[in-house]
């Protein structure tokens, strides 16, 4: 499968296909074309290197085993990338890194796939595994026995059982809530997972550090989806005691929250309720919506790059002890957060 063939199937030029596959942030004027190119490349097993193609097809005799590495991907949080834009964008960054480093995604798995493989005691064909998101401990123990190298990319650490590339969710949440406090907000709601979730702990710790009591009515547990964000804001909107600001655990929840805000206020001619909204991730849509979303950026490109390098080093026996690489996050101030006016 060549760039020219993908271009023919997607009715575009080889140059456009090359830009899309080699630059994760590149987007065509038609957004649907960008995803169509990536989808076609995945479906047709596009690999830019002939050695890697041989390895993908199982022809090890004609593959350079030093330069080409087959890697499995495990989506631990969702069964589909469509459900979480952050991990979808991270996946695209990984695809680009794999192209550059002659790696091959042999198969993309989810938790049921791993459970079935463990029950059948099947040995994976790939030596390396990359985990996107938080993996259950009981499954992680099995994975470390099945694969030579395992690395996880997530917002939260997993206690040094495996190699990790993280951007601490607790620190990101603390940064987000502190920005709201600097704007004068003290009645701050939390929308997101509350079950031992680092971002919830960061929210709580920031309020505690500034001696602001926790208001349990302002905490709305969700599964961190767009639909949950929408429902959570509707719940807040219906209350008499409303927060002046909302911290969402991720951008996709915040997008649902803002959509609900627009709809709820559209029904009212007076007393419009528009709290400040802030979140974590900085997905592409955050910089394209209205209002532009204030968020804490997680460096997906760097995480993908360092995770690939670390996994390859593990497979080449360059290091033996579990490694944790923690990258800093950065506050991106946009339109969705405003100064509190009593």
Residue 293: DSSP 8-state:
P
Same domain for 143 and 197?
Answer: no
> pLDDT digit of tens for each residue in the chain (342 aa)?
567 888 888 888 888 888 887 777 777 777 778 878 877 776 665 655 544 445 444 444 444 444 678 899 998 877 777 778 898 899 889 988 887 888 878 888 888 877 766 666 667 778 899 999 888 888 888 888 889 999 999 887 777 689 999 999 999 999 999 999 999 999 999 999 998 789 999 999 999 999 999 999 999 999 989 999 999 999 999 999 999 999 999 999 999 999 999 999 886 656 789 999 999 999 999 999 999 999 999 999 999 999 999 999 999 999 999 999 999 999 999 999 987 776
21: tokens are 């596959």
* Predicted local confidence at residue 65, as pLDDT: 44
Does residue 184 lie within any of the structural domains?
yes
**How many structural domains is the chain composed of?**
2
108: tokens are 């993309």
Dihedral sign, CA of 82, 97, 292, 188? positive
* Predicted local confidence at residue 63, as pLDDT: 44
Whole-angstrom CA distances from 60 to 2, 53, 284 are 21, 10, 39
Same domain for 155 and 303?
Answer: yes
Same domain for 194 and 142?
Answer: no
* Predicted local confidence at residue 53, as pLDDT: 46
Same domain for 247 and 163?
Answer: no
Same domain for 140 and 225?
Answer: no
Residue 86 CB-half CA count within 13 A? 29
Based on its alpha-carbon atoms, the radius of gyration of the chain, rounded to whole angstroms, reads 22
Same domain for 163 and 304?
Answer: yes
Does residue 44 lie within any of the structural domains?
no
pTM: 0.81
Whole-angstrom CA distances from 121 to 117, 142, 215 are 6, 10, 49
Same domain for 269 and 305?
Answer: no
Q: Which domain holds residue 317?
A: 67-167+299-326
Backbone angles phi, psi at 194, to 5 degrees: -115, 0
CATH code for position 235: 3.40.50.2300
9: tokens are 């199937």
Does residue 339 lie within any of the structural domains?
no
Find the helix or strand (DSSP H, E) in which 192 lies.
strand 188-192
* Predicted local confidence at residue 39, as pLDDT: 76
266: tokens are 């559209």
- DSSP conformation letters of 229-272: HHHHHHHHHT-SS--SEEEESSHHHHHHHHHHHHHHHHT-SSS-
Same domain for 177 and 250?
Answer: yes
341: tokens are 């006016």
Find the helix or strand (DSSP H, E) in which 304 lies.
helix 300-315
Same domain for 162 and 278?
Answer: no
């Amino acid at each position: 499968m060549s760039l020219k063939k993908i271009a023919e199937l997607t009715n575009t030029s080889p140059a456009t296909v090359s830009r899309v596959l080699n630059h994760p942030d590149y987007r065509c004027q038609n957004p649907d074309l960008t995803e169509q190119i990536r989808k076609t490349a995945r479906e047709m097993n596009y690999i830019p290197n002939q050695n890697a193609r041989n390895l993908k097809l199982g022809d090890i005799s004609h593959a350079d085993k030093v330069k080409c590495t087959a890697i499995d991907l495990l989506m631990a949080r969702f069964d589909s990338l469509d459900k979480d834009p952050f991990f979808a964008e991270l996946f695209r960054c990984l695809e680009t890194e794999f192209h550059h480093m002659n790696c091959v995604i042999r198969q993309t798995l989810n938790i049921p796939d791993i459970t079935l493989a463990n029950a059948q005691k099947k040995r994976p064909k790939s030596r390396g595994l990359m985990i996107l998101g938080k993996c259950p401990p009981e499954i992680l123990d099995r994975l470390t026995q099945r694969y030579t190298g395992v690395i996880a990319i997530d917002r939260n650490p997993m206690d040094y059982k495996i190699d990790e590339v993280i951007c601490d969710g607790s620190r990101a949440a603390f940064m987000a809530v502190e920005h709201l406090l600097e704007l004068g907000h003290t009645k701050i709601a939390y929308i997101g997972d509350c079950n031992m979730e680092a971002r919830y702990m960061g929210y709580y710790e920031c309020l505690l550090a500034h001696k602001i009591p926790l208001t349990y009515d302002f905490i709305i547990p969700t599964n961190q989806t767009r639909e949950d964000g929408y429902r959570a804001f509707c719940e807040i909107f219906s209350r008499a005691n409303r927060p002046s600001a909302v911290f969402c655990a991720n951008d996709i929840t915040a997008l649902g929250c803002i959509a609900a805000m627009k709809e709820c206020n559209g029904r009212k001619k007076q007393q419009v309720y528009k709290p400040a909204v802030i979140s974590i991730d900085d997905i592409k849509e955050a910089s394209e919506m209205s209002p532009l979303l204030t968020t804490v950026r997680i460096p997906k490109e760097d995480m993908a790059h360092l995770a690939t390098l670390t996994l390859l080093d593990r497979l080449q026996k360059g290091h033996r002890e579990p490694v944790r690489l923690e990258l800093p996050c950065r506050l991106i101030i946009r339109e969705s957060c405003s100064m509190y006016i009593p």
